[in-house]
Amino acid sequence: MRRQATVLHLDLDAFFAAVEQRDKPSLRGRPVVVGGLGARGVVSTASYEARAYGVRSAMRTAEARARCPHAAYLSGRFDAYRAASRIVMGRLREISPLVEPLSLDEAFVDLAAGDDTRDLDLDGLRALAEQVRADVAERTDGLTASVGIASSKLLAKIASELAKPDGLHVVTPGTELDVLAPLQVRAIPGVGPVTAERLRRLGVQTVADLRGVDLPDLTSLLGSAYGTSLHALARGEDHRPVVAERETKSLSVEDTFETDITDPRVLADVATMMSRRVSERLRGNGMSGRTVTLKIRHHDFETHTRSATLAGPTDDGRVIARTATGLLAEIDTSSGIRLLGVGVSGMADWVQDDLFVTDEDAPDEGLSDDRVSDDGRSDEADPDDGPDGRGPLPDADAGPETGGLPEAARDATTRTPPATLRSRPRWAPGADVVHAEHGAGWVWGSGLGRVTVRFETRHTGPGPVRTFDADDASLRPGTVEP
DNA sequence: TCTGGGGTCCTAGGACCC
DNA sequence: TCTGGGGTCCTAGGACCC
């Protein structure tokens, strides 16, 4: 906590929904909900008009539709959100070089790091904040921001919450404890439903109550790090600095399926596709990582992770896929999987030579064995088993190994979607499939090919993942529908 | 048709080393 | 033959945030 109010927190109001209303005037003044549109979707952002009907972030979209059937339901347009966010962050960097973005719509600014001749008295701060809010609205074509200013991150964030929507709240130095005392403990960022319930059982509801709990009791209830920090925050003690550059610690891709998947071959295909996406994002950021994590959510929502650490960092989709599918092979998926994810952590900015990495660290033997025995037609050589027979190369590029296969099976192993996969998807009537990505597309002895396809449209974004047999009638022109 | 996707931080236990 | 601590790395899980 500082003697002066030099921490600013800015939060854009109902950000995703506000961008939609800005870009489509017919949505202005109407309830708008942005989020997942499928059966298992949840609300990401609700406009204030939708909130009036009780629609909230993280609510199931099905429940939101029940509460507010006449709202406009939209999946996100993240490029538009990122563009707006860049403008806002740019404006904040004009105030101070020390800007800490927390997400696309939120950031801390250290006002003491910029111009030292700045007027930090309360009137000066108010004028500065109002100027920023006006500039944000002007430069983003009407998006509104709420701003909090205080002597610490904790109070600045609470202040912007108190200012919502479209307002400014400055916490006068010296009044911090008075502001905190009556608030519910949930108002402290980091106190979620579980902690709030634990505290409630101690009779603690407000921050004032929390101050009555001594440090040993708090650390025994919540653990040492969390207990200690909460003890301090309850007293308004917060010395956390505003940090501009934060290193990425992990990178992951995950997907909840429209319906649970049990087939381990389909899951392996999906994991392979996800590994490729992780690889692309790693390479796009010039990063690599050493630990590969597979995440599985079972039909009953029980969630598990399995990880393996390589000898050196990689950004290679084939290495990630081999590791991920190896981890997957150890898991019983027979009761149905609702979510699968692949991630990488232990980041580095360099890449270990693959020759050094692959042999020791790719526990994929279980997978290829499974496939051969599942199939029951394993007497012919597996053309996708890779040149060394170690397992399928997840990279689906057509190579010489696919020669001699039926036309449809060869298509199934090329990265470019064949024209026959373009169709009008049933789940988004009237929308054209703009992108269909192949999975591993692995092919076995009989010439049957399996191909995993993700259907995606311009309007609804990523859609269902489906697996086809490449010589199945479903791959004939015009007949494929997700 | 309960419960998204992308992250961060913390804890705890076991292996291993000194 | 019995028993130290400390430190680091790895794995798994959980709470939380937007």
Spell out the per-residue pLDDT of chain A, length 482, in tens.
688 999 999 999 999 999 999 999 999 999 999 999 999 999 999 999 999 999 999 999 999 999 999 999 999 999 999 999 999 999 999 999 999 999 999 999 999 987 777 778 999 999 999 999 999 999 999 999 999 999 999 999 999 999 999 999 999 999 999 999 999 999 999 999 999 999 999 999 999 999 999 999 999 999 999 999 999 999 999 999 999 989 999 999 999 999 999 999 999 999 999 999 999 999 999 999 999 999 999 999 999 999 999 999 999 999 999 999 999 999 999 999 999 999 999 998 877 544 333 333 333 333 333 333 333 333 333 333 333 333 333 333 333 333 333 333 333 332 223 323 333 333 333 333 434 443 323 222 222 344 455 554 434 444 445 555 444 433 332 223 33
- The answer to the question of whether A374 is labelled as a binding residue is no
Give the CA-to-C1' distance from A252 to B5 in angstroms.
Answer: 9
Tokens of A78: 């993240």
Q: What integer pLDDT is reported at residue A448 of this predicted model?
A: 33
Give the CA-to-C1' distance from A253 to B6 in angstroms.
Answer: 8
Q: What integer pLDDT is reported at residue A161 of this predicted model?
A: 98
CB A284 under 7 Å to nucleic chain B: no
Residue ranges of alpha helices (H) inside A379-477 are 407-412
Tokens of A189: 């960022």
Cβ atoms within 10 Å, residue A410:
19
Tokens of A191: 């106190």
Side by side, which strands form the sheet with A43-46?
A43-46, A32-35, A72-74
**Hey, which residues of A are catalytic here?**
106
- Please state, in angstroms and rounded to a whole number, the distance separating the CA atoms of residues A269 and A271: 5
At the top level of CATH, the class of A1-150 is alpha beta
Q: What integer pLDDT is reported at residue A453 of this predicted model?
A: 53
Give the CA-to-C1' distance from A356 to B2 in angstroms.
Answer: 47
Domain made up of A250-363: CATH architecture: 2-Layer Sandwich (3.30)
Chain C nucleotides reached by a protein CB under 7 Å: 9-18
CATH of A181-234, one of 3.20.20.140, 1.10.600.10, 1.10.10.10, 1.10.150.20: 1.10.150.20
Name the residue with the least CA to C1' distance from nucleotide C17. A190
Question: A181-234: same fold as A1-150?
Answer: no
Give the CA-to-C1' distance from A399 to B6 in angstroms.
Answer: 34
CB A305 under 7 Å to nucleic chain B: no
Residue A471 burial by Cβ neighbours in a 10 Å radius (0-12, 13-18, 19+): middle
Q: What integer pLDDT is reported at residue A351 of this predicted model?
A: 75
- The answer to the question of whether A116 is labelled as a binding residue is no
Each domain of chain A, given as residue ranges in start order, spans: 1-150, 181-234, 250-363, 374-482
Q: What integer pLDDT is reported at residue A395 of this predicted model?
A: 33
Chain B nucleotides reached by a protein CB under 7 Å: 1-12
Q: Which nucleotide is nearest to A192 (CA to C1')?
A: C16
Q: What integer pLDDT is reported at residue A352 of this predicted model?
A: 56
- Please state, in angstroms and rounded to a whole number, the distance separating the CA atoms of residues A75 and A410: 34
CB A201 under 7 Å to nucleic chain B: no
Q: Which nucleotide is nearest to A161 (CA to C1')?
A: C18
SS3 state at A276: helix
- Please state, in angstroms and rounded to a whole number, the distance separating the CA atoms of residues A276 and A112: 44
CB A256 under 7 Å to nucleic chain B: yes
